[in-house]
Amino acid sequence: MAVSAIAADSAASAAAPSRERWTFLVFLWRRPRFLVGYALVSGVVAIGLLSPWLAPHSPTDAESAAYLLAPSLARPMGTDVAGLDVLSRVIAAPRVDVTIALVSTCLAALIGSGLGAFIGLWEGRDGLRSAAAGFGLRVSDVVQAFPVFALALVLVAVLGQGMRSIVLAIGVVNIPVYLRIMRGQTLALRTLAYVEAARIAGAGDAYVLARHIAPNAMPVILAQMAVGVGTAIMLTAGLSFIGAGVRAPTPEWGAMIASGFQSVVTGQWWPALFPGLALAVTVLGFGLVGASLEAWSNPRERTKPSRREWLAFLARVKAARKSA
């Protein structure tokens, strides 16, 4: 009898994730605007991964005879001032921009969430742990007091120009965001009954964080990470736009906009327009993904009827009134 009960519990726990995934897919299907975000992100990532085979020309080899060619059938997005094919560079740029954004966001989320969890758990206690939590909050306040872009620019100048420096700079400036979010989640969760029960049973800080607090706070962190990737892409493009980011001729949207911006005043709009559109579409996609995860983590939003369901309900009410 006990063996069958254990087997039933194991089967139920194994089926729970699949049920959760199915419920999430239904949630997305009822909200097409969120599906647009996932489609955009999937498309950008796929294009970046397949760029060596999709790019019609080399994104780094210039052709002196192809100086500022207008868009045509042979060159759908034209060429820039260096004779580089704009379409090939737009296709290859996600390998740089999205990679930097993903790595820096994961770095910031890992460090910031870990620090925020311990700060939230130790805050308000007596002794050294409370002092450490207060010191961590003050350091976070100091970092957040600086403008994000200015601080990232200073860090890149100190660390040196290059992809590794950009990743570290963007990761560092975003750590306080995840620290604050995780701290707030920990403060709200540590007073719940099951956390107090684990404490009474003798569970330590690491066990409480790993078993009870982190899994419940993860949806909010994931939502912020999706939005943070879009923010990191804009920071990367901004640093490259002013010449502090990725070095030429590496294809990167911000550097492409900067080099093409000089030609706009003379009527050659295509070198700056197409990378700008690609940047905007990518940031929009990650923003919609973040919005979907945030809505999913909110029980009220999760059960809220979609616009399609609301219109169908109104149509049924109207039909019922006419028949009556």
Q: What does the CA dihedral 92, 93, 94, 100 come to, rounded to 10 degrees? A: 130
Token pair listed for 246: 């990725």
* pLDDT beyond 60 at 9: no
Based on its alpha-carbon atoms, the radius of gyration of the chain, rounded to whole angstroms, reads 25
pLDDT bin (cut points 50, 70, 90) of residue 306 is low
| Averaged pLDDT, 164-173 | 92
Q: Looking at beta carbons, which pairs linking 79-84 to residues 24 or more positions away fall under 8 Å?
A: 79/271, 80/256, 80/259, 80/260, 80/263, 80/271, 81/259, 81/260, 81/262, 81/263, 81/271, 82/249, 82/259, 84/59, 84/60, 84/249
Total structural domains in the chain? 1
pLDDT of residue 11: 40
Band the pLDDT of 32: cuts 50, 70, 90. confident
- Asked, for residue 26, whether it belongs to a domain, the answer is no
The per-residue pLDDT for 230 is 92
**In this model, does residue 18 exceed pLDDT 70?**
no
Q: Which residue is listed with tokens 């999937």?
A: 42
pLDDT at 110 over 80: yes
Q: How large is the average pLDDT for residues 237-249? A: 86
Give residue 302's pLDDT band: very low, low, confident or very high (50, 70, 90): low
pLDDT of residue 313: 67
311 assigned to some structural domain: yes
Checking if the pLDDT of 270 tops 80, the result is yes
Q: Does residue 5 belong to any structural domain of this protein?
A: no
Give residue 143's pLDDT.
87
Q: Is residue 268 part of a domain?
A: yes
pLDDT tens for each residue of 140-158: 888 888 888 888 988 888 8
- Which residue type, as a one-letter code, is found at position 66? A
What would the two tokens of residue 20 be?
Answer: 């959760």
Question: Does pLDDT of 4 surpass 50?
Answer: no
Q: Which SS3 state, helix, strand or coil, does residue 85 take? A: strand
Residue 47 pLDDT greater than 80, yes or no: yes
Q: What pLDDT sits at residue 305?
A: 66
Confidence of residue 17 (pLDDT cuts 50, 70, 90): low
Q: What is the mean pLDDT of the chain?
A: 83
Its domain, for residue 154, covers: 31-56+86-323
> What was the pLDDT predicted at 322?
75
> What is the pLDDT, as a whole number, of residue 260?
86
Q: Helices 148-159 & 163-189, crossing angle to 10 degrees?
A: 130
> For residue 283, what are its two tokens?
């940031």
Lookup result for tokens 């107090």: 196
**Gap between the Cα atoms of 319 and 324, Å rounded:** 9
pLDDT tens, position by position, 178-223: 999 998 888 888 777 777 777 777 777 777 787 888 888 888 898 8
91, exposed or middle or buried, with CB in 10 Å at 0-12, 13-18, 19+? Answer: buried
Length of the chain: 324
Instruction: For residue 211, give the DSSP letter.
Output: I
Whether residue 73 lies inside any domain: the answer is: no
The residue type at 122: W
Q: Is residue 271 part of a domain?
A: yes
Of the pLDDT bands very low, low, confident and very high (cuts 50, 70, 90), residue 250 is: confident
In a domain, 11, yes or no: no
Residues 6+ apart with CB under 8 A from 289: 34, 37, 38, 41, 226
With a CB cutoff of 8 Å and minimum separation 6, the contacts of 146 are: 173
Of residues 299 and 70, more confidently modeled: 70
Give the CATH number, domain containing residue 138. 1.10.3720.10
- Portion of the chain with pLDDT greater than 90, in percent: 30
pLDDT at 1 > cutoff 80: no
Query: pLDDT-based confidence at 13, cuts 50/70/90?
Result: very low
For the chain, the maximum distance between any two Cα atoms, rounded to a whole number of angstroms, is: 83
Q: Are 41 and 54 in contact (CB under 8 A)?
A: no
More confident residue, 250 or 108: 108
Give the 3-state secondary structure percentages of the chain, helix then strand then coil, rounded to 5: 80, 0, 20
Residue 70 forms part of a structural domain: no
- Rounded to whole angstroms, the Cα distance separating 278 from 58 reads 19
